[in-house]
Amino acid sequence: MAFSLDRVLKALLFGASGPLSTKDIQKVFSKFHEQAELLPEMEVATPEEDEDSNVEQPFLEAEGMPTSEVPSLVAAGQIRESIDRISAELEERDEVYRLVERHDGFVFVTSPTVGEWIRLLRDEPRPLKLTQSALETLAVIAYRQPVIRSEVEKIRGVSIDSALSRLMERDLVQIVGRAELPGRPIQYGTSDAFLEFVGVRTVEELPSSDVLSPRQIDEWLHEVSNHGKVTEREMGLPEGERADGNAEEVSGESDIEGESEEIGEVEKLEQPLEDDADREAI
């Protein structure tokens, strides 16, 4: 049988215990040629000697394993083209498995259309969806990593304790270090499971975001630090969404002003009288 790169790649991916990278595949072909060079050096044994011989054969005699016509060098581009052909073929035939590329290589996975059957076979619970709060927190961490908790909370405007705990439990977010700031706060970033979750190989492949771009967020954080109060429009929220919160803030300011006036009157009464004229006046 003539050599077929598509056929060999299918066999390698099927027999692999995990994802295969381009380098892993190229190493297999290098090993093939290293062992093929031993064939001419081996002596041909007689039938009698063959029975008692323990010499290990470089290759198994089987159809589909040619010892010739195998290219000495399989380029990464050739592997990529073959992978694309196999993937398109599986989708066209609507097979129950697909060939996908992850951050650590190529791997066969089951089609989403049969995922429920696999879940029943493994007796696993249904996958839980992330809440809106967790998704927003995950997006900020993904685009700003490494990032500290206070910066995420300043961007979102709320506490992220619950969302961050949920993301770390699902191994989507992990601790990546400590910031060079007072107190050395913990820095968070995304994990390899996050890349599989969103279907990208590296963080650089994430869609560009004008809202979460580092430059614009830095400008926004600087503006918040200098001015304190931010309008709904500056936060990208519909106007009126924080109306209740603003009303409470205004009410709180009024109460504080009233308390300040009362405290001022009490302080005046508690001041010591300076002369007898003041005592007589009282």
Residue 244 forms part of a structural domain: no
User: Could you tell me if 159 and 182 lie in one domain?
Assistant: yes
Is 213 within 8 Å of 220 (Cβ atoms)? no
- Same domain assignment for residues 69 and 145: no
Token pair in block for residue 2: 């003539």
In total, how many domains does the chain have? 2
What does the pLDDT look like over 108-144, one tens digit per residue?
999 888 989 998 998 988 877 888 999 989 989 998 8
Of 64 and 8, more confident: 8
Single residue among 74, 93, 122 that ends a domain in this structure: 122
Q: Indicate if 118 and 86 belong to the same structural domain.
A: yes
Shared domain check, 87 and 11: yes
- Residue 258 in domain: no
Residue 93 contacts residue 86 (beta carbons within 8 Å) = no
Asked whether the predicted pLDDT for residue 245 surpasses 90, the reply is no
Whether residue 90 sits in one domain with residue 11 = yes
Domain that holds residue 227: 132-235
- Name residue, tokens 């093929």: 36
Mean pLDDT, residues 207-214 taken together? 65
Same domain, 47 and 138: no
Establish if 261 belongs to a structural domain.
Answer: no
96 and 142 co-located in one domain: no
107 and 76 housed in the same domain: yes
Could you say which of 194, 217, 235 is where a domain stops? 235
- Kindly give, in sequence order, each residue whose CB lies less than 8 Å from that of residue 126, ignoring residues fewer than 6 positions away: 119
Statement to judge: residues 80 and 177 lie in one domain = no
CATH number assigned to the domain comprising residue 33: 1.10.10.10
**Which residues have CB under 8 Å from 18's CB, separation 6+?**
104, 105, 107
Answer yes or no: do 106 and 70 share one domain. yes
Residue where a domain stops, chosen among 93, 122, 151: 122
Summarised one tens digit per residue, pLDDT across range 85-116 is 999 999 999 999 999 888 888 999 998 889 89
Q: Is residue 155 domain-resident?
A: yes
Chain segment 18-39, per-residue pLDDT in tens: 899 999 999 999 988 888 777 6
Q: Which of 7-16, 51-60, 96-105, 180-189 has the lowest mean pLDDT?
A: 51-60
Question: DSSP for the chain?
Answer: ----HHHHHHHHHHH-SS-B-HHHHHHHHHHHHHHHTTTTTSPPPPHHHHHH--PPPSS---TT--SSS--S---HHHHHHHHHHHHHHHHHTT-SEEEEEETTEEEEEE-GGGHHHHHHHHTPPPPPPPPHHHHHHHHHHHHH-SEEHHHHHHHHSS--HHHHHHHHHTTSEEEEEE-SSTT-PEEEEE-HHHHHHHT-SSGGGSPP-SSS-HHHHHHHHHHHHHH----HHHHTPPTTTTHHHHHHHHHHHHHHHHHHHHHHHHHHHHSPP-SHHHHHH-
Report CA dihedral (240, 242, 244, 246) to the nearest 10 degrees: -100
Residues 227-241, mean pLDDT to the nearest whole number = 54
**Average of per-residue pLDDT across 72-76:** 87
Average pLDDT over residues 203-213: 72
Token reading at 164: 């961050």
Question: Are 76 and 15 in the same domain?
Answer: yes
Name residues whose C-beta falls within 8 Å of residue 167's C-beta, 6 or more positions apart in sequence.
130, 134, 137, 138, 141, 173
Question: At 16, phi and psi to the nearest 5?
Answer: -75, 150
